[in-house]
Amino acid sequence: MKLLSKLALLIAFIATILALNLNAQTPAAADTNTVPAAATVSHSSVPASPAEHEVVVPPAAPAVFHVMGLPITNSMICTWIVGALILIVVRSTTHNNIKEVPSGMQNVLESLVELWDGLIGDILDKRVTRWVFPFATTFFIFIVISNLMDLVPGVGSIGFEPPDKSSFTPLFRPPTTDANLTVVMAGIFLIMSLFWAVRYNGFFGLIKHIFGVKMETNKITYPLFFLLFLFIGAMELLSIVFARPVALAMRLYGNIFAGQSILDMIFHSKELWFTLLLSSCMYFYETFVCVVQAFVFAMLVVAFVGTMCTTDESHSH
């Protein structure tokens, strides 16, 4: 009976999500569905209106309002909600409420901490683990909740429009579908990783770690290998300051933005059976993608830091 009740609750939850999102259409989509046949015939001779070319999910997060000239976008509002949610949950489950035998949310948080501590401890030095653990764990928790906001009913479909109904501005947008946020997180990673690398190796030790000859040589072959590793070091430096942050930012943004765009197109379909079938599959798939992308981001942060905070004992000449 318990299994049946849980299954019934799951089906009811999915049905509620579908019901709340089926009619979440932008004015542009609604206007397109009501265009007269005559207007369709003369489409080739009449310039297209801006609404006809409107992107369902714009790459740039639109501003909802301004504060002292500073635009406040819908992704910023959603970011504040995610941050407040994390603070409330952690505060309410850990402050003056820690039990010797954990249960409920305390058990979930402790399991998450132990999991990440074990994963990071297997990759990094113990000293580096103490630095990176809270950083990577916070990234994972924030990103996975931000990604899952894409599946919350009303996100992307509740909003407002001007009197002429020429556009539609959603009030909420998943934070990680805004490239500004993912780029900022990648920038924070870059600054902290360089700080930890200098702290672990020392400034000149880091230079030696990047550009130094990492193999045994003799006096005759050393100049040749020095030039070779100087070139390799230049490529490594380019990877550290550019390729790695860009890969972190664009991978996360691209995957979550694509998922939101696909879901939005599915819910704007004219066929009800098509919407029900694909949305049911996409919700499960997108949940998997949201969790995996958060895990990948956090683990890449750990791995990238690990490549700069290692001891090269084989260096000799």
* Residue 92 pLDDT class (50, 70, 90 cuts): confident
Q: Which of 252, 257, 265, 259 lies closest to 284 in space, CA to CA?
A: 259
In this structure, the number of other CB atoms found within 10 A of the CB of residue 298 comes to 24
CA distance 254 to 195: 28
Give the sign of the dihedral formed by CA 239, CA 240, CA 246, CA 248: positive
**Chain centroid, CA 69 distance in Å:** 28
Residues linked to residue 160 through DSSP beta bridges, in sequence order: 169
* Residue 259 pLDDT class (50, 70, 90 cuts): confident
**Token output for 172:** 């909420």
**Token output for 115:** 């999991």
Dump pLDDT digits (tens) for 208-229.
Answer: 889 988 888 888 888 888 898 8
Q: Which of 172, 170, 168, 169 lies closest to 32 in space, CA to CA?
A: 168
| pLDDT at residue 261, rounded to an integer | 86
Dihedral of the alpha carbons of 262, 267, 272, 274, in degrees to the nearest 10 = 0
CA distance 73 to 178: 10
Which of 40 and 232 is assigned the larger pLDDT? 232
Per cent of the chain over pLDDT 90 is 36
> Which amino acid appears at position 296 of this protein?
V
In this structure, the number of other CB atoms found within 10 A of the CB of residue 179 comes to 18
Dump pLDDT digits (tens) for 97-141.
Answer: 677 666 677 777 788 888 888 888 888 888 899 999 989 999 999
DSSP SS3 for 162: coil
**Token output for 218:** 């003799």
**Chain centroid, CA 303 distance in Å:** 18
CA distance 260 to 247: 20
